[in-house]
Structure 1
C-alpha cells in the first residue's frame, strides 16, 4: 500500500492506495474509510471507495485543501487492514440461469470453448467481492471472475437490460438493480431486491461484501418473486 493524494475537484480529493485491482485491496480501503470518517467528522460530505482509491468530498466552508490533505495523512498513518470478520457481509443470491433471461450464455460458450453448463458452474462456484458501487443505484461491481470466463462487453449495448439481470464483463460480474441500457454479457436473472428506497443505504450490496450466486430452477425463481419475461431480441 502506498498513499498518493490527487485533486479531483475544488472540494474533492482522490486518495490512491494501490495501482492494481486485487481482492486484497478491499480490507485496506475499508479500514481507510473508517479512519477518514472518524478524522473528518462533520467536515466530510461524502466518501466513495473503489478498486484502488477513495474519493473524499469535504466541506469547503470548514476546510481548505491543505488542511484536508493533512487530515488524510494523519488518519492513514499506521493504517492496518480490517480483519475478515469486519470487512463486509456475506450474501447468497439466487439466480435462474437460462437462455431466455441470459441470452449471452451461448455467446460465452462459443468464446470460451466451455459448454453452457460449464459456464454456469464456473460463475456460480466462486465467491465474489464487491469492489464498488456505480453506474446505477445499487449496481455493484464484483470480482474477480475466473479468467476462463473473462469476456469483452458487447460491441453494441442493449437499449434495455431487465432489472435483476446477472452479467459478466471482462473479469467482473454484476446484477442490474434497475432496468437500464447495458453492454454486459447476460447469463441469468435474480429475484433479489438489489435496490430499495426504503432500505438504509438503498443498496443490498456494499463495498467489502462477499457474494455467491446460487443456481435455482425456474419454479423457485418465480416463487421468490422473479420476473421470467425473456430478454427482448431487439433490446
Structure 2
C-alpha cells in the first residue's frame, strides 16, 4: 500500500503488517481508535497517540484503508469510565503556574480540579496517560531543564497536557502535587488505571 489520503485520515504503511493513520489532533486520534475498536477493524492492536493511530497486525492494508473510509470524526468525547484521582496540591511549581494563570495557589487548585480530563493516549512510561481537557489559555511550558528525578505519583502539566508520573523518573513537567493512586499495576486485570478514553477528575485532599 502506498501512502493513501482519505477525507480526514492520511495513511502510511509501516513495515509489512502495520499502518499509521495520521489525523488532525489527539481528539481525532482517540475518536478514530475508539471507532476502530467498536467496528472491529482487522488489526491486532489499535494504538492512539497525539496525532496518529497505529494499526498493527494488519493482514490486508488495502482492506483496512477501505474500512477506514467509513469513519468520520464524531466530535464527542468517549463515554469511558470516570476515575477520581485524589491529589495533595503541594508541588514545587504551584507558584509558577499561579503566576502564569494570573491567580494564587488556591486558584490553581480550583481551576485544575474543575476540569474533567480525558486520557487521550499512553506513552513515556507504562501507565503514563496524556490527559486532555485543559483550556488552551492555561497551557504552561515545560521546565527549561528537566528534573533528574520526579517522584512517583507527581501530578504535572506540560503545554496543554496533564499527567501523573506512575514511577519515579526524570521529567520536565510543571508539578502541582502528588497522589497515592497506583497508576500501573501489572497484577490488575487492567494494569493501567487511566487507559485511553478514561474520564479523569482530580480531587483535592
Provide the C-alpha distance between the structure 1 equivalents of 2:26 and 2:31, rounded to a whole number of angstroms: 13
Find the counterpart in structure 2 of residue 8 from structure 1: 14
SS in 1 for 2:85: strand
Within a 5 Å distance, the mapping from 1:39-188 to structure 2 comes to: 39-40=41-42, 44-58=43-57, 63=59, 68-79=60-71, 87-98=79-90, 102-188=91-177
- The TM-score, its normalising length taken from structure 1, stands at 0.76
1:105, CA displacement in angstroms? 0.3
The root-mean-square deviation of aligned C-alpha atoms, in Å, is 2.3
TM-score between both structures, scaled by the size of structure 2: 0.86
- 8 Å Cα contact 1:130/1:206 also seen in 2: yes
Structure 1: 5+ residue stretches without partners? 217-235
Q: Is the 8 A contact 1:27 1:87 kept in 2?
A: no
Q: How far apart are residue 144 of structure 1 and its match?
A: 2.4
Find the counterpart in structure 2 of residue 206 from structure 1.
195
Unaligned 5+ segments in structure 2 are 1-6
Query: Which residue of structure 2 lines up, in the alignment, with residue 192 of structure 1?
Result: 181
In the TM superposition, residue 86 of structure 1 has moved relative to its aligned partner by 6.5
Secondary structure of the 1:109 match is: helix
Between the aligned partners of 1:158 and 1:85, the Cα distance in structure 2 is: 33
Distance 1:50 1:104 in 2: 27
How many aligned positions are there?
A: 199
Q: How far apart, CA to CA, are the structure 2 residues paired with 1:178 and 1:25?
A: 26
Structure 1 residue 8 displacement after superposition = 3.2
Provide Cα deviations, 1:183-208, integer angstroms capped at 9, x if missing partner. 00000001111100101241011111
Question: For the residues of structure 2 that align with 1:77 and 1:169, how far apart are their CA atoms?
Answer: 34
The answer to whether the 8 A contact 2:32-2:53 is kept is: no
| Match in the other structure for 1:29 | 33
